[in-house]
Structure 1
Amino acid sequence: MLPFTERAVKIIKEIPAGRVMTYGQVASAAGNPRGARQISRILHSMSAKYELPWHRIINAQGGISTPTDGEEKGGLQRELLEGEGVEFMRNGKVDLTVYRWFPEEEFI
């Protein structure tokens, strides 16, 4: 596993229940500020194998980035986040000032 991928997996695994990070935020903390798409690929290909809490990663606007293959995954993501106590605003987004998590310095 590449060092960036290893750091990203570690960061994602540490996000506590009821908190979120953005794709870009994880990428930056893992060492590549322009690697948001890489985080998406990591989540897609490694979530099951590494038991990643994929649902805790949202877009920079606080929204759920539903894949183009349908709405089901986006609905599940919202359901999982709400189950952890994350509240969605009327516009369907998460208030990042309330729910965003910042990893400890050890990750960076």
Structure 2
Amino acid sequence: MTAKPDKADFYDRVYEVVARIPHGRVTTYGAIARYLGIGGSARMVGYALNLTLKSDGPELPCHRVVNRLGQLSGKAYFGPGLMEALLRQENITFLDEDTIDLDRHFWDPAEAL
């Protein structure tokens, strides 16, 4: 049985990973959770990122985190079209209106860090 992480510590670890996502690449909430050893906690990663967008938290490239299907699930926090616009500025390829080509742009923290 895996112990639940301390929220503040977990959030800080999430922020450290997100800060290292390279320009032109994306990762998923689940990939971050797995890298941190808390598989199944993708939602907690989302909560952590949500706090940075609603507060004076660290400025992070949160637009580079998508759901497991490559969909822009965080776009509600960026305002209409902003998440997509930021990703397109980084030459991210979309398969359709709001789904990224993960085969081309996925960055796996477990392999990179």
TM-score bracket relative to the smaller structure: 0.7 to 0.9
1:106 Cα offset (Å)? 8.0
Structure number with higher strand proportion: 2
After superposition, the C-alpha distances for 1:22-57 in whole angstroms (9 at most, x for unaligned) are 111111112211111111111111245211111000
**1:9 counterpart = 2:32:** no
- Structure 2 equivalent of residue 83 of structure 1: 89
**Number of residues of Structure 1 aligned to a counterpart in Structure 2:** 104
Structure 2 portions without partners, runs of 5+: 1-6
Matched residue, 2:71: 63
Q: Is the 8 A contact 1:4 1:31 kept in 2?
A: no
Is 1:73 the counterpart of 2:79? The answer is yes
Question: CA–CA distance in 2 between the matches of 1:100 and 1:21?
Answer: 5
Shift of 1:8: 1.2
- Alpha-carbon RMSD across the aligned residues, in angstroms, is 2.2
Displacement of 1:6 after TM fit? 2.2
Identity of aligned residues (%): 33
List gaps (5 residues or longer) in structure 1: none
Distance 1:20 1:46, change over 3 A: same
Contact 1:23 1:58 in 2 (8 A): yes
Kindly state the Cα deviation for residue 9 of structure 1 after the two structures are TM-superposed.
1.0
Alpha-carbon distance change, 33 to 52 in structure 1, aligned in 2, over 3 angstroms: same
